[in-house]
Amino acid sequence: MKTLIIAAGALAALGAAACTSSGNTERGAVGGALLGAAAGAVIGNNTGSGDAGQGAAIGAATGAIAGGVVGSQQDRNTTPQAGPHGEPLVYDNYTRRYYYVDRNTGRTYWSNGDYRG
């Protein structure tokens, strides 16, 4: 019964993670938690007291931390540092995206070069 509950929870979390539009940090944490929980349940069931639940909890926490760290590093590597002519990037909290102001025209553009308005 425990295995069925763990498997159902893992499938639900995996489905939620697949539909998210969040960054690599969040996706890495969710993926790490899922993999850690599965590995922890197997290891916990086969060693020590045979408590798969405790192993899954420890594995999920460890996996979430490790996945979050890896995802955060990926986010830092993919975020541009400046506009095409060295303009500083400004973070838009509403859209959660970076933009810059073109020095020549005064127009604003998203960090990928699309016109912002």
Question: 17 burial class (0-12, 13-18, 19+ CB within 10 angstroms)?
Answer: middle
Residues 12 and 32 in one domain: yes
Domain count, the chain: 2
**70 and 87 belong to one structural domain:** no
Alpha helices per DSSP H over the chain = 2-18, 24-46, 52-78
**Does residue 7 register a pLDDT over 60?**
no
Q: How confident is the model at residue 99 (pLDDT cuts 50, 70, 90)?
A: very high
Of 89 and 48, the one with more pLDDT: 89
33-70 pLDDT per residue, tens: 888 888 888 887 788 777 788 878 888 888 888 888 88
- 67 and 86 share a domain? no
**Domain that includes residue 45, residue range:** 2-78
Instruction: Please check whether residues 94 and 42 belong to one and the same domain.
Output: no
Assess whether 84 and 67 both reside in one domain.
no
For tokens 């509403």, the residue is 94
If you average pLDDT over every residue of the chain, what do you get? 78
Amino acid identity, position 87: E
Residues 108, 71: one domain? no
| Same domain? 50 vs 86 | no
pLDDT for position 26: 82
